Chain A
Amino acid sequence: MQNFFSLILEPLKGVYAEFADFFPNLLAMFIIIFLGIVAARIVRAVVLKLLKAVNFDSWSDRMGFTTIMRKGDLWAKPSAAVGSFLFWLLIIVVFMAGFGALKIRAIDDLVSQCVLYLPRVLSAVLIVVVGYIVTGFIGRAILIFMVNRGYHFAKLLVEAVRLLLIVLFVAMALEQLQVAPRIVVSAFSIIFGGIVLALAIAFGVGGIEAAKKVIEKETVEKKDEKNDDIEHI
């Protein structure tokens, strides 16, 4: 009978012993996560105060960052956005540190993989953000130039340029993330080449008349400009 009890109790003892070994790790995880969340909140509050003190929102308005955020459908204040970004970045770090405290090999491997992957994510985010700003800047510069020259299809052409640039930057970001890099590069080449080929065919075959009109218009405009004697200054 005693053997029977020991047959039941031994595994339970083993579970208890393992739990007793594991409990401090679990406790450590909860404490790390709890303290981490508190610290992240404090950091966010301090950063918000600091950004407010240096008038970061007004500076962002002037530099055009607010407009970029609005265009990306982000309606928070720029300072709040920076605060939230830092907060969530810290939360990710805190959770990874917390899970690390459990000392479970599988989780440790996962965490270290995540840590190693994080720089790629950050640089991909950076590529997308910079790409968005550069695309907006170049697109607007071309649009203003073409409108001031009186081109009829300025907006259409600028949308095409924007599309090409977005495709380029998204491909760069995906390549950075190592998401099926071969497929990304091939897909990019196909899409990019396809767009250029489509434009060439549209302009060279389907759009001969349109192309002719654009070229004729440009020639006439240059002539018109020369026929204009007006002194603007």
Chain B
Amino acid sequence: MTMDSIISRKEVHDQLEKIKTADILVGIPSYNNARTIGHVVRAVQAGIAKYFPERKAVLVDSDGGSSDGTIEIVQKTTLEDFQSILFHHRIEPVFKMAIPYHGVPGKGSAFRTLFEIADALNVKACAVVDSDLRSITPEWIELLLKPVLEEGFDYVAPLYQRHKYDGTITNSIIYPLTRALYGKRVRQPIGGDFGFSGRLAKFYLTKDVWKTDVARYGIDIWMTTTAVANNFKVAQSFLGAKIHDPKDPGADLSEMLYQVVGAAFDLMETYPDSWKAARGSEPVTTFGFQYTVGLEHVKVNVERMVTIFREGIKGLREIWIDVLGAGDFGQIEELGSLPDLKFRFPLSLWTRVVYDYALAYHTKKLPRGHLLKSLTPLYLGKTASFVMETENMRQDEAEDEIEKLCAEFESIKEHLINGWK
């Protein structure tokens, strides 16, 4: 137990002393989610009551200092309201803890608190779910925990039905890249809701990453990659639609890219032997009954994205030539001169862009922040191209396009391996 461990705090220690051990831990990282967290807590409690009536369970809200009464809502929300829908009478109680976490503000620090509590209570399985979810049902808890408790999996990633334009960083960078690197087809490596074993939680705690970007947006990709690269048994569960509160209008895209892509590139430095050895990719076991969900329409401002891409060609010319080389920059320039209707980002070019950025990151060609943020206009160009290409496609057809991109990432992986010195 380190000095900054949550367990060292008296009020937490006392609560843990009372609980002693548990089978299941469900964690909810939160920050000013008073509007939605009540629903999430109810769904989690119902899920535990319905699917794990004989397991001793703990629900932990790891809070980032909410000022809107999030913690009070977690403490007040009870199971009595929906006792009628349960088939079994619960044998074991559900303990509830709402703790303000310490450290760098962010989801990663909230998760660290959950790992520490899981470790202290010696739990068998954990699940974490976002606190702004509107589409969570009790079944999510079953789908995230059962593969761990009954099938021996260590890590369960989510599989959602999402709108074809949602999750574009996942679809155009993180999924193709992690799949090509580590050879596992985990479709939502940064989904946000996960299940994992107590053994894996202990393993996460052995890593000293809590002052890096992992403590913020980078936690999701870090958890998935750490599990895959260290040969933990990985699966995914179909959870249906992921609908959550409207996005934070203040969230900066460049900052998101910086943290998520930076975390993925950092992990390449940590596990070079693992990703260099992997060839091709294989599917992972998928749990849950897959069905089609009606999804809300997503408005996209393609014109703005293409404008920023073109501004990038003019303004970031020297940086892009340095990172991509004159040849690929020439292709980018040609792309910028096309009329909007003909604007299509070739898959091979985009793949080389991502790999060249990974190589530039590895050789520290530019300061980390400058390098990753200079990717934003290229990413917006790729996103605009994807939106236009798939405008008249069905969801499954758009998924085929992502599959093609993944194949491209796998086929030119040698480019990355050869350039990695």
Contacts and interface: CB of A to CB of B under 8 A. Distances in A.
A226 B246 CA distance: 11
B83 interface: no
A105 interface: no
B308 interface: yes
B315 interface: yes
Contacts of B301: 224-225, 227-228
Contact of A140 (B162, B190, B297, B319): B319
Interface in A150-182: 150-152, 154-155, 158
A29 B315 CA distance: 57
Contacts of B308: 147-150
A144 interface: yes
B249 interface: yes
Interface in B183-198: 190, 192
Interface stretch (B117-125, B166-174, B391-399): B166-174
Given A64-B366, A140-B319, A150-B304, A228 B312 contact: no
Contacts of A116: none
Interface residues of A, number: 32
A233 interface: yes
Contact of B383 (A148, A230, A233): A230
A228 B304 contact: yes
B169 A137 contact: no
B329 interface: no
Contacts of A151: 311
Interface string B357-371: 000000111110110
A146 B363 CA distance: 26
B15 to A, nearest CB: 32
B316 A232 contact: no
Nearest to A226: B249
Contact of A228 (B217, B254, B299, B322): B299
A210 to B, nearest CB: 16
A143 B318 CA distance: 11
B311 A233 contact: no
A148 to B, nearest CB: 5
Indicate the member of A146, A148, A158 with the most B CB atoms within 10 Å.
Answer: A148
A146 B308 CA distance: 10
A231 interface: yes
B256 interface: yes
B319 A230 contact: no
Interface stretch (B49-57, B232-240, B373-381): B373-381
A21 interface: no
A233 B263 CA distance: 14
B307 interface: yes
Contact of B376 (A148, A152, A221, A228): A148
B253 interface: yes
Query: Chain A's interface: helix, strand, loop or mixed, by majority?
Result: helix
A147 B379 CA distance: 13
A140 B314 CA distance: 14
B170 A233 contact: yes
Nearest to B304: A224
Interface in B60-81: none
B311 A61 contact: no
B300 interface: yes
B298 interface: yes
A137 B368 CA distance: 12
Interface in A202-222: 221
A232 B304 contact: no
A17 B256 CA distance: 83
Given A233-B169, A233-B260, A146 B299 contact: no
B254 A148 contact: yes
Nearest to B173: A232
B287 interface: no
Contacts of B366: 64, 140
Contacts of B299: 227-230
A111 B190 CA distance: 67
B370 A233 contact: no
Indicate the member of A63, A226, A233 with the most B CB atoms within 10 Å.
Answer: A233
B95 interface: no
Contacts of A61: 363-364
A137 B367 contact: yes
A141 B374 CA distance: 9
Given A61-B363, A232-B253, A148 B300 contact: no
B167 A231 contact: yes
Contacts of A230: 165-166, 168, 298-300, 383
A158 B314 CA distance: 13
Nearest to B373: A144
Contacts of B298: 229-231
A228 B256 contact: no
A225 B299 CA distance: 10
A138 to B, nearest CB: 11
B247 interface: yes
Given A140-B370, A232-B253, 12 more contacts: A64-B367, A144-B254, A147-B314, A150-B311, A225-B301, A225-B304, A227-B301, A229-B298, A230-B166, A233-B167, A233-B190, A233-B192
Interface of B: 162, 165-170, 190, 192, 217, 247, 249, 253-254, 256-257, 260, 297-301, 304, 307-308, 311-312, 314-316, 319, 322, 363-367, 369-370, 373-374, 376-377, 383
Interface of A: 61-64, 67, 137, 140-141, 143-152, 154-155, 158, 221, 224-233
The 9 closest A-B CB pairs, nearest first, are A62-B364, A147-B315, A231-B166, A229-B299, A150-B308, A148-B376, A154-B315, A229-B298, A232-B169
17 contacts: A63-B364, A144-B319, A147-B315, A151-B311, A154-B311, A154-B314, A154-B315, A155-B314, A221-B304, A226-B249, A228-B299, A228-B300, A229-B298, A231-B166, A231-B298, A232-B256, A233-B192
